[in-house]
Chains A and B, each alone.
Chain A
Amino acid sequence: MAESSLRPMNALGDTHSVETSGAHAAPDLQFENLEQQHATRVFGMWIFLVTELMLFGALFLMYTVYRAFYPAAFAEGSRHLDLALGGINTAVLIVSSLCIALAIHAARTSAKRSQLALWLLAAAVLGIVFMVIKGYEYFLHYQNGEMPVFNWTLTGAGAGHVQLFFWLYFAMTGVHAIHLSIGIALVGIMILRALLGNFKPNAYTPLEMTGLYWHFVDIIWIFLLPLLYLIAR
Chain B
Amino acid sequence: MSEPIIPTRTLFIVCGALLLLTALTIGAYFMDLGILHTPVALAIAGAKAVLILLFFMHLRYSSGLTRIVLLAGLLWLGILILGTMDDALTRGWVLGTAP
Contact = CB atoms under 8 A, between A and B. Distances in A.
A231 B40 CA distance: 11
Interface stretch (A13-21, A101-109, A136-144, A159-167): A101-109
B1 A226 contact: no
A97 to B, nearest CB: 5
A87 B26 contact: yes
A230 B41 contact: yes
Contacts of B45: 222-223, 225-226
A47 B67 CA distance: 11
A223 B84 CA distance: 20
The A interface, classified by DSSP as helix, strand, loop or mixed, is helix
Interface string A58-73: 1011001100110000
Nearest to A97: B56
A50 B1 contact: no
A219 B72 CA distance: 17
Interface residues of B, number: 48
Interface residues of A, number: 50
A152 interface: no
Given A34-B1, A97-B15, A101-B6, A218 B52 contact: yes
A212 interface: yes
23 contacts: A50-B69, A50-B70, A53-B73, A53-B77, A61-B81, A64-B85, A68-B85, A68-B89, A69-B93, A83-B26, A94-B15, A95-B15, A97-B15, A97-B56, A98-B12, A98-B14, A101-B56, A105-B6, A105-B8, A219-B52, A223-B45, A226-B25, A226-B44
Interface of A: 34-35, 38-39, 42-43, 46-47, 49-50, 53-54, 57-58, 60-61, 64-65, 68-69, 83, 87, 90-91, 94-95, 97-98, 100-102, 105, 108-109, 202, 211-212, 215-216, 218-219, 222-223, 225-227, 230-233
7 A-B pairs closest in CB distance: A50-B73, A226-B41, A98-B15, A57-B77, A230-B29, A94-B18, A46-B69
